[in-house]
Structure 1
Amino acid sequence: MTASLAARYGGRMIYEHLGARPRIDDTAVIAPTAVISGDVQIGPGCQVLHGAVITAEGGPITLGAHVIVMENALIRATAADAVHIGPHCLVGTLASIAGATVGEEVFFASGARVFNGARVGDRCEVRVNAIVHRRAVLPEGTVVPIGWVAVGDPVQLLSPDRAEEIAAAQPELDFPGYVFGVDRDTPDLMVQLTERYGQSLARHVDDRSV
């Protein structure tokens, strides 16, 4: 963050994490109650609204020009999966994007969910409460209908009542293993998961406001 940005955003919830500071273009606008943490680059003309959280948990986050992040949205990178969001995208209220690559001019409606390793092509639409599952690949112009689930590569778009087909389309899906590093068959799965993940998150104790 430059001296001028430090003066502009002093006292706001912008943090150095793991030795990395956010870089925010002079023309971007960050609401006072948004949280920006770690290795985050925010491009020109971006708008990050109240309650939004953009947190780089070991991997970088890049927002291209004129990206809008609405109220209470979450963008999170991990050491395994960076986040890149191309220019002129809109991330709706309560939407979340974790460890995904997003093209240009993409619309994420309220409550949309995009998981680690997913790739969303240019000019896609992920509508209200729709899900793009881990490692799913959406070609350019794909529309995921309200509440539907996108799985696989090549992608399948499935209504939420088709749970068996959704599961069958992602035989390698292993959230505990891929995201948290814990085998799903571990007898004390949640004990191991919460303790390991808690140790990782505890690194925020050394964050510094910038």
Structure 2
Amino acid sequence: MNRPGVNIVPIHGKTPKIDDSAFIAPGCTIVGDVTIGAESSIWYNCVLRADVSRIVIGERTNVQDGSVLHCDPPRPGDPDGSPLIIGDDVLIGHMAMIHGCVIENRGFVGLGAIAMNKAVIGSDAMLAAGAMLTEGKVMGERELWGGRPARKMRDLDEAAVMGMRMGTAHYAENARHHAAAVDEALKS
């Protein structure tokens, strides 16, 4: 699929694999061993750089404007390195920095938050805006963590979880509108 304005960069024999239904906004750079699932959206000016390990993004996940995603290679004592594995229906807020961690299905990363190598954001869990989840920390399901360094603040109630799910649905629909608008702009 042609993706005008998107920099797709193969490196080390690895080329990004992007589902045809995914929306990749102009201004994004996607490098190397990246896989992006169906109906996911990568918003304006994001960088996904999988030059030393892999980045896997599930279905209906959105990575919002200006976010940076990277990973770490294998090292002595760490033969697997720190790939970045992101599940389905994940929300990643604007200007987030996500590095070599795992975000389970329906996880949420707030605006400007940082998640570091080998950290885990559990299903239906929320890393608050501006928080820093340090290396190796594990957030359980339905937990809210915040601060620098992040720590558990409380469990999330059903209303908060449903709000995150509504956000996922909104971004999937909004991505379709943006894809159409980008296509129309290119025609004029």
TM-score (norm 2): 0.74
User: Any conservation in 2 of the 1:148–1:157 contact (CA below 8 Å)?
Assistant: no
Matches within 5 A, 1:112-131: 112-131=113-132
Change (3 A) 1:148 1:37: same
Measure the CA separation in 2 of the matches of 1:148 and 1:113. Answer: 9
Measure the CA separation in 1 of the matches of 2:72 and 2:134. Answer: 16
Deviation, 1:18, is 1.4
Question: Is residue 59 of structure 2 the alignment partner of residue 65 of structure 1?
Answer: yes
User: Any conservation in 2 of the 1:112–1:129 contact (CA below 8 Å)?
Assistant: yes
Question: What corresponds to 1:37 in structure 2?
Answer: 31
Deviation, 1:157, is 3.5
In structure 1, stretches of 5+ residues that fail to align are 151-155, 159-210
Deviation, 1:34, is 0.6
User: Any conservation in 1 of the 2:40–2:59 contact (CA below 8 Å)?
Assistant: yes
In structure 2, stretches of 5+ residues that fail to align are 74-80, 154-188
TM-score (norm 1): 0.66
CA deviations over 1:116-164 (Å, ceiling 9, x no partner): 111111011011101110011111111013x3423xxxxx548xxxxxx
- 2:110 partner letter: A
Question: Is residue 125 of structure 2 the alignment partner of residue 108 of structure 1?
Answer: no
Larger Rg: 1
Question: What corresponds to 1:90 in structure 2?
Answer: 91
Count of residue pairs the alignment pairs up:
146
Measure the CA separation in 2 of the matches of 1:87 and 1:74. Answer: 18
User: Any conservation in 1 of the 2:5–2:28 contact (CA below 8 Å)?
Assistant: no
| Equivalent of 1:56 in 47, 50, 53 | 50
Measure the CA separation in 2 of the matches of 1:10 and 1:121. Answer: 35
User: Any conservation in 2 of the 1:15–1:37 contact (CA below 8 Å)?
Assistant: yes
Q: Percent identity?
A: 27
Deviation, 1:12, is 2.6
Which SS does the other structure have where 1:39 is aligned? strand
Measure the CA separation in 2 of the matches of 1:12 and 1:71. Answer: 14
Measure the CA separation in 2 of the matches of 1:148 and 1:95. Answer: 14
Measure the CA separation in 1 of the matches of 2:44 and 2:19. Answer: 18
User: Any conservation in 2 of the 1:149–1:157 contact (CA below 8 Å)?
Assistant: no
